[in-house]
Structure 1
Amino acid sequence: MAHVFVYGTLLEPTMMQAVVGRLVASQPATLLKYVRSQLTGCYYPGMVPSDYHQVTGAVYCDLTDAELARLDYFEGPEYLRATVQPVLGESNQVVSAEAYLLQPSEQSRMLHLDWDVQHFRQSNLQEFLEVARATMRRYESGDAASVPPHGDSTP
């Protein structure tokens, strides 16, 4: 079982449910020495290492290998899954978790503006939820070779 640190669209529990197929328990968390940024032409952010920043997010607990495979597909080739060490908000405990970092080849798309989950929930959640559901239907149908439509998700 794995923990996953999320910092963008997957902070919304309905998004996570659409991707992995169930509601997953989560805890607030902070990841030190990383920065989150809006990306050009996207509803979702990217995250990269940065000595002078921190990212607020959440840790989803106890995901299976099959659920991680679903997340890998959803995140697509723009992201690289890596192990990080977030601090859980309630206990200040440091845990090991997987996170999706923006690939170096994609970092020029960073706008250096923090991404706002409240704005996403109010303005883009319903539309992006449909994108996520369609993406995961393709995965479930065995068409996992097709690339998720992240590039079609313009604000």
Structure 2
Amino acid sequence: MADRTHTAFFYGTLMAPEVFFTVCYRFSKEEISLLKSLHEFQPALLHGYCRRRVKYADYPGIFPDNDHEVRGMYVTGLTDANMDKLDLFEGSEYERRTVKVRLLSKTGDDKGHGNVEGEEVECEVYVYNNRKNLENREWDFKEFREQKMKNWTREDYGFDDTGAFSSNSEGGAGVCKSTSAEPTGSVS
């Protein structure tokens, strides 16, 4: 019997396909082109959450916050085996939850200006468990790709054709921008 498929929203290191494929297929002997064909990555927005950098780490965490939204990647084609590997990767710092995200038909700048929202879809996301371990600043995807990603990936999982994941289209991590006029308070 075939695995049931899942969808997920990734807002941190897993937005980079190189990291995702390393986590889910680290020991696979399959052709990379075959593995890439199993999953679709599409920019999306998660409303009602805020992303912050985890203290002393290369990755972020999110927590519920009605005045914010987080831009990330909606990924399809995940198997039960993929989800088991992702659960292990995320560990006890995160809880997997079901949420609804809005797919982006157009991705705006790194502040979220110019985003065009489309269909709402249900998927799973990993929510950070301990807000006091989060910094009071946004996690930066561009910084991660340029400075840290090589520590998180298999060398042979390079993706030259990932325009949807370039620093230009995802900017400074895809925004945890406030949806109100109020300034962001400290994370507690």
Which TM class, normalised by the smaller chain length? Answer: 0.7 to 0.9
Equivalent position amino acid for 1:114 in 2: E
Partner of 2:120 in structure 1?
94
Equivalent position amino acid for 2:144 in 1: F
SS of aligned partner of 2:97: strand
- Is 1:113 aligned with 2:137? yes
SS of aligned partner of 2:52: strand
- Which runs of 5 or more structure 2 residues have no equivalent in the other structure? 26-34, 106-116, 155-188
Deviation at 1:62, TM superposition (A): 1.8
User: Which structure is larger by alpha-carbon Rg, 1 or 2?
Assistant: 2
Please, which of 84, 89, 92 is the counterpart of residue 77 of structure 1? 92
Deviation at 1:2, TM superposition (A): 0.9
Deviation at 1:83, TM superposition (A): 0.4
SS of aligned partner of 2:138: coil
Structure 2 CA distance, aligned partners of 1:128 and 1:108? 25
Please, which of 55, 69, 85 is the counterpart of residue 40 of structure 1? 55
Partner of 1:56 in structure 2?
71
**RMSD over aligned Cα atoms:** 1.1
Please, which of 2, 5, 12 is the counterpart of residue 16 of structure 2? 12
Structure 2 CA distance, aligned partners of 1:112 and 1:67? 31
SS of aligned partner of 1:3: strand
Question: Which one has the bigger helix percentage?
Answer: 1
Tell me the number of residue pairs that the alignment of Structure 1 and Structure 2 aligns: 128
TM-score when normalising by structure 2: 0.66
Equivalent position amino acid for 1:127 in 2: N
